[in-house]
Structure 1
Amino acid sequence: MIDAMALLFPNVAKTGAVTVRVAVSYLSEQSDPGGGRWFWSYHVRVENDGDEPLQLVEREWRIVDAEGRAYDVRGEGVVGEMPLIMPGESFDYVSGCPLATSHGSMSGSYRLLDSEGRDIHAAIPAFDLVGPPAEVEK
């Protein structure tokens, strides 16, 4: 049997009752390799496999480009929301990442709160940002 979720979201991290899945796509139409700009979109699904609601309140990303420069991004919620994810449900969103190099990587974590206000730190799986072979820097 084919695992459709693994095909759709090849990058997966499970932390307790939280599963985070990520799919990434290079966007050639928003990239300008000649101008030193490459752009990716990433689709994230946060699943609540537990038995109580969880609210996603904070995100933290580490973005590393091909030259080893690291960028830390931290902020409230995701895409302007602090979603409440009910048991057995998920929250999906899409965002993007520009780089000045043809490849890099991203990883991070979410801070969620349970119904008692306790912190849960859920890992975001590491994933690569890779441009098409013709556009990869030598």
Structure 2
Amino acid sequence: MASDVLAVLFPNVAVTRDIFVRVAASYLAEQSNPELNRWFWSYHVRIENRSILSVQLLSRSWKIVDGRGTVHEVHGEGVVGETPLIAPDGSFDYVSGCPLDTPTGSMSGSYRMVDEDGALFDIAIPQFALTAPIN
């Protein structure tokens, strides 16, 4: 039952080394202004550590593609100002946002992680659509 609820709440999922990255995106009409070519989405990410080792998120790399196919890359330390340590069977959630100058697009990417043994590795962020409702 719980996995069915998660699939509805977070329809986009990627699994790397027993770490699940789940994403749900929402169009924010109140922060968008289509007449000025501004559309805005929030996205909620849940990172679940189902491995046997604690892991820490060090950095992020995003590939944002707008409706014209233009690719924007974003790289940086942590997420929302944090570099969370996630214990086995633990999770970390955060919400962020993405503006575009087109009513459609997509995002995907990866997180750079380190486990408690000091091994560095990347985990996938699933691709998800950014789609504004048609009026």
Query: Would the TM-score normalized by the shorter structure come out above 0.5?
Result: yes
Structure 2 residue aligned with 1:63: 64
Which residue of structure 1 aligns with residue 116 of structure 2?
115
2:38 and 2:80 map into 1 onto residues whose CA distance is 22
Equivalents in 2 of 1:96, 1:47: separation in Å? 20
| Matches of 2:80 and 2:59, distance apart in 1 | 11
CA–CA distance in structure 2, aligned partners of residues 119 and 18 of structure 1: 14
Letter in 2 for 1:16: R
2:62 and 2:68 map into 1 onto residues whose CA distance is 18
- 1:39 matched residue in structure 2: 40
In the alignment, which residue of structure 1 is the partner of 2:94? 93
Aligned to 1:49: 50
Indicate the residue corresponding to 2:129 in structure 1.
128
Amino acid in structure 2 at the alignment position of 1:52: L
Deviation at 1:41, TM superposition (A): 0.1
- The number of aligned residues is 134
Gaps of 5+ in 1: none
Please give the alpha-carbon distance, in whole angstroms, between the structure 1 residues aligned to 2:116 and 2:69: 39
What residue is the counterpart of 2:77 in the other structure? 76
Counterpart of 1:33 in structure 2: which amino acid? P
- Give, in angstroms, the shift of residue 116 of structure 1: 1.5
1:20 maps to what in 2?
21
Aligned partner of 2:10 in structure 1 is 9
In structure 1, what residue type is equivalent to 2:54? P
Aligned counterparts of 2:115 and 2:17: Cα–Cα separation in 1: 12
Q: Which runs of 4+ in 1 moved over 2 A?
A: none
Q: Report the identity percentage.
A: 59
CA distance in 1 between partners of 2:28 and 2:114 (Å): 34
Give the 3-state SS of the residue equivalent to 1:3 in structure 2: helix
Tell me the CA shift for residue 16 of structure 1: 1.3
Runs of 5+ consecutive residues of structure 2 not aligned to the other structure: none
1:104 match = 105
The amino acid across from 1:124 in the alignment is: I
**RMSD of aligned residue pairs (Cα, Å):** 0.9
